[in-house]
Amino acid sequence: MSEKRPEPGTPMILQWRKWDGSPHWTNEEIYLGSDQWGDWLGQPSGWRSARPGREFLAHSPDVTLIPRADVAHGAEYAPTVHRRHPKGMRVYIDLGWDLRWTDAGDLDPVSGMPILLTGIDMDLDVVRVEGSAAPGSTTATSGRSTASATATRPM
């Protein structure tokens, strides 16, 4: 895990992969900086997210926190908060493994941006959509499964 961070405002790639090492989501991001909670990335409207067989441009801006992790283990989740998402998505938490910073070297072949952060996507996500279910509810989804479970936290 690299201790180096890009300068705030640097365009970069967050590259997710599957457990077996195969490619998964590639997200174009901007490094925003760090604080006591970790490192912050932003994805402006119109920036690309892609995986094999699917690609889209961000409908609205979002910000992602990469929590602080020790050198031996990368972060294990990445919460993203959306504003004005067309489907009402407010919070999306990727549960992952070994989410860590790399030394710049590899470039994304489509955007030419440096791949500075990599992680294993466990395909277990927690999503909060405004206006769905009970107030304060969160939906957990797993991979491509159509099943979901809703857990409501006390208010």
Host domain of residue 54: 11-152
Domains held by the chain: number: 1
β-strand partners of 94: 78, 125
Instruction: Note the pLDDT tens digit of each residue in 7-66.
Output: 999 999 999 999 899 999 999 999 999 999 999 999 999 999 999 999 999 988 999 999
Inside any domain, residue 109:
yes
Whether 27 and 43 have beta carbons less than 8 Å apart is answered as yes
Residue 114 DSSP one-character state: B
Inside any domain, residue 3:
no
| Helices first, then strands: H and E counts in the chain | 0, 11
Whether 42 and 60 have beta carbons less than 8 Å apart is answered as no
Cα 81 to Cα 62: distance, rounded to the nearest angstrom: 6
Cα 48 to Cα 29: distance, rounded to the nearest angstrom: 9
Can you give the CATH number for the domain in which 69 is found?
A: 2.40.380.10
Instruction: Note the pLDDT tens digit of each residue in 110-123.
Output: 898 999 999 998 88
Instruction: Note the pLDDT tens digit of each residue in 72-89.
Output: 677 888 888 888 877 777
